[in-house]
Structure 1
Amino acid sequence: MRLILTALLLLSMASCGLPRGGALQSEIIGNETQERSDIAIYRVSRETLSSISRWPAPNTNGSYSWPNRGTPAADKPIRPFDLVDVIVWDSEENSLLASPGQNTVRMQDMQVSPAGTIFLPFVGTLNIAGLPHSAARARIQRKYEEVIPSAQVQLNVRQGTRGTISMVSGVNRPGPIQVDDPNFTILNAISAAGGPSAQIQNPQVKLIRGSATYRRPLEQVLSNPRNDALLLPGDKVAIEKDDRYFRSLGAASREAIVPFETAEISALDAMSLIGGLTDMRANPKGILILREYSPKAVRADRSGPGNTRSVFVIDLTTADGLFSAGKFPIYHQDTVLVTESSVASATLLFTLIKQMTGAAFDVSRL
């Protein structure tokens, strides 16, 4: 009778659900879940990777856009607050500008106004900001030729006090940097500031330009010349630690908030960072990546996710699944859920039965 009662007790425990550390795959992406319209489920394979890789990145706080590198000017553009010298050569006898016996007039140390203009005698106010040196000289030349046909113009430009960028933090020598080269880039600025601080792991470059903020891993700026953007006067640059992370849950060897150690992490990298799978509990066919996209990224034509809440299923028991996991990117705030194996639940049940039946026999001997 005691054995029968023990068996009934164990069956009732099994029907109520045995204690587990994670969900079963069927509980997350079972038939009922797949029929719901508020969650999209995708199996990661060689066939699906090509389309998933073209989807917009999730809109999270850990990802920012990055400006185009820009095209360096062949000639340095003139900016507000630059200082210019204009020398006009006039060979006419009755010159409007030159005194008797002189054939040149020098107008020196004229500061370009905040509006980008200078004032010239007999010409008036002239806008030259944004023009390269040669174009500005040609514009002044044309204006003077309207009143002095024989005039020849020489133009000299010196950078004003506003041509600076600021290295805010994360470098060995923070502070303002005078920029006189139109080809001055992010890496030039970091080098001029003594390089990034050695205490920052996986450093990120943060660029503030006006009201816009850009961010890129320093590793990507170093490896791709197109990311080494040209800097503009007034830009602010900071080197910061990487604040991106993903979550590890379920039957993983480590349940934790895992920071990004490199610029890019694949699903296979994530498996290594969490210490792999728990041997007796994990279901290697049910590695789930839970991700939330911006509503703007949702597409009905498969050029984007079908829903903001998306689940990606990875099978680590096949060669295709392993190779695909190595190319599937993990993004900031993703959740990597290692599901429980149903065999593990059965093993636990049998263990409990063995323990409790052994206890029942011990009681019967009393």
Structure 2
Amino acid sequence: MMTWAAAGLSVLALTACSVPRGSALSSEILSEQNSDAPSYQVVSVTRDNVAELTAWPVTGWKGEYKWLANPRGPQSQLIRTGDVVSVVVWDNQDNSLLSNGVSKQASLPPMVVSATGMIFMPYVGEVEIRNLTQPAARAKIQEAMTEVAPEAQVQLAVQQGAGNAADLVGGVSAPGSYPLPSRNYSILSLIAAGGGIRPGLENPLVRLLRGGHVYEIRAEQLMADPNLNTILRGGDKVVVAEDDRFFTALGATGREEVVPFTRESLTAMEALSTVGGLSDSRADLKSVLVLRDYPVDDTVPTPEGADYSAKGPLQEQVVFAFDLTSADGLFAARKFEINPKDTVLGTETVVTSARTVLGLIGSVVGVTNAVNNLAE
């Protein structure tokens, strides 16, 4: 009956090399660097070259968020194009051109501030009032009236037009168009007026659209620094959306999944921590890999036979390798930045495959012994 055990051992000996694994072996990937015509580049990351690698072209996004400073506006509202202005002229002269003998005031029809910033005053002509506060505009109109009505007094009222509103497009409880009550109205005030950032948004990003330009910042960063709470302008559009940057964790990592960026930048060490580190029983700490794709325009020519360039990648596909069993590799992983769409791969140690084979052998031997015992 021992032929059962012998047969089992023979089968396992033939199939041990193809036992299913949870991840690739480092030798299967890194051996490409020894090829005469490698299809991808392999770079070992160390403290000596990590600064140079950080200077390589950024992939997956722009590399940083572009945001505006926070200039303080005037304390009073400014008149803008599109605002509606109502003017009342008081004149007690008997022969006034504006008032009649019964009433000493003349109420002019509401006027829209033109694209050039002007309004039209009878007997005076156009008067520019854009970018003036309401008191300054009233004084300027009254001064212009002195030629036709030296003793006239002007009363001015301003109603905000569409140019003095900002649109809160999405990502909040109550999106819509909101008037700007003052020139000191900030982006956080607008978000608060819209009911705040909608619950459930993962890693929200605040996006400001102004004059054909797009500015972005992480919501947590905006709320943490008062100097970033920029002042809005009429016509601004604000969108709150999820940060769509991600990297992929595979192999002998704590979790295999698509992982969103939890901050503006992540190092290789932080990325591993985000997914629960490496598997103690499976991971090959000498070969933790980061896989990255570069546009062909970002590759750099190098002398034939070179396997590294400080200026950029030699090929479109690059594998960055870390040895986390050494202090050199650990410090390098703390400074190497992960790019969006990178793949962090925990390779599997050869010992794990051996354990799998031995476990299967042990199972077969155990079953064979049980069969032998029953036969006896």
Structure 1 gaps of 5+ residues are: 89-94
After TM superposition, the structure 1 = structure 2 runs for residues 253-332 of structure 1, keeping only pairs within 5 Å, are 253-294=254-295, 298=299, 302=310, 304-332=312-340
Shift of 1:72: 4.2
AA partner of residue 311 (structure 1): V
SS in structure 1 of the partner of residue 69 of structure 2: coil
SS in structure 2 of the partner of residue 333 of structure 1: coil
Deviations along 1:72-110, one digit per CA (max 9) or x if unpaired, are 45586542112457899xxxxxx99999xxxx9997853
Q: Is structure 2 residue 53 aligned with structure 1 residue 45?
A: no
Please give the alpha-carbon distance, in whole angstroms, between the structure 2 residues aligned to 1:192 and 1:309: 47
AA partner of residue 111 (structure 2): M
Assess if the C-alpha contact under 8 Å between 1:87 and 1:107 holds in 2: yes
Shift of 1:113: 1.9
Q: Per the alignment, do residues 127 and 26 of structure 1 end up closer, same or farther by CA in structure 2, a change over 3 Å counting?
A: farther
AA partner of residue 337 (structure 1): L
AA partner of residue 68 (structure 1): L
Quote the residue 2:93 is aligned against: none
Deviations along 1:232-272, one digit per CA (max 9) or x if unpaired, are 22223233344443222112232222334455443223323
AA partner of residue 284 (structure 2): N
Please give the alpha-carbon distance, in whole angstroms, between the structure 1 residues aligned to 2:211 and 2:9: 72
After TM superposition, the structure 1 stretch with the greater mean CA deviation from structure 2, 244-253 or 25-34, is 25-34
Assess if the C-alpha contact under 8 Å between 2:87 and 2:108 holds in 1: yes
Please give the alpha-carbon distance, in whole angstroms, between the structure 1 residues aligned to 2:296 and 2:78: 42
Assess if the C-alpha contact under 8 Å between 1:64 and 1:216 holds in 2: no
Assess if the C-alpha contact under 8 Å between 1:219 and 1:263 holds in 2: no
Q: Per the alignment, do residues 73 and 261 of structure 1 end up closer, same or farther by CA in structure 2, a change over 3 Å counting?
A: closer
Please give the alpha-carbon distance, in whole angstroms, between the structure 2 residues aligned to 1:153 and 1:293: 70
After TM superposition, the structure 1 = structure 2 runs for residues 21-40 of structure 1, keeping only pairs within 5 Å, are 21-32=22-33, 39-40=40-41
Quote the residue 1:91 is aligned against: none
SS in structure 1 of the partner of residue 284 of structure 2: strand
Deviations along 1:188-246, one digit per CA (max 9) or x if unpaired, are 22233343234434332233446555443211212345543332222232333444432
Q: Per the alignment, do residues 183 and 291 of structure 1 end up closer, same or farther by CA in structure 2, a change over 3 Å counting?
A: farther
Shift of 1:112: 0.9
Please give the alpha-carbon distance, in whole angstroms, between the structure 1 residues aligned to 2:312 and 2:107: 63
After TM superposition, the structure 1 = structure 2 runs for residues 23-172 of structure 1, keeping only pairs within 5 Å, are 23-32=24-33, 39-60=40-61, 65-69=65-69, 71-73=71-73, 78-84=79-85, 109-114=110-115, 116-120=117-121, 129=130, 131=131, 133=133, 158=158, 160-162=160-162, 163-172=164-173
Please give the alpha-carbon distance, in whole angstroms, between the structure 1 residues aligned to 2:315 and 2:123: 67
AA partner of residue 171 (structure 2): G
Q: Per the alignment, do residues 144 and 40 of structure 1 end up closer, same or farther by CA in structure 2, a change over 3 Å counting?
A: farther
Shift of 1:316: 2.0
Superposition RMSD in Å: 5.1
Please give the alpha-carbon distance, in whole angstroms, between the structure 2 residues aligned to 1:239 and 1:173: 12
Q: Give aligned pairs, total.
A: 360
Shift of 1:359: 7.1
Q: Per the alignment, do residues 223 and 312 of structure 1 end up closer, same or farther by CA in structure 2, a change over 3 Å counting?
A: farther
SS in structure 1 of the partner of residue 48 of structure 2: helix
Q: Is structure 2 residue 341 aligned with structure 1 residue 339?
A: no
Shift of 1:337: 0.8
Please give the alpha-carbon distance, in whole angstroms, between the structure 1 residues aligned to 2:40 and 2:319: 7
Please give the alpha-carbon distance, in whole angstroms, between the structure 1 residues aligned to 2:155 and 2:345: 67
Assess if the C-alpha contact under 8 Å between 1:204 and 1:217 holds in 2: yes
Shift of 1:282: 1.0
TM-score by length of 1: 0.72
Quote the residue 2:18 is aligned against: 17
AA partner of residue 164 (structure 1): A
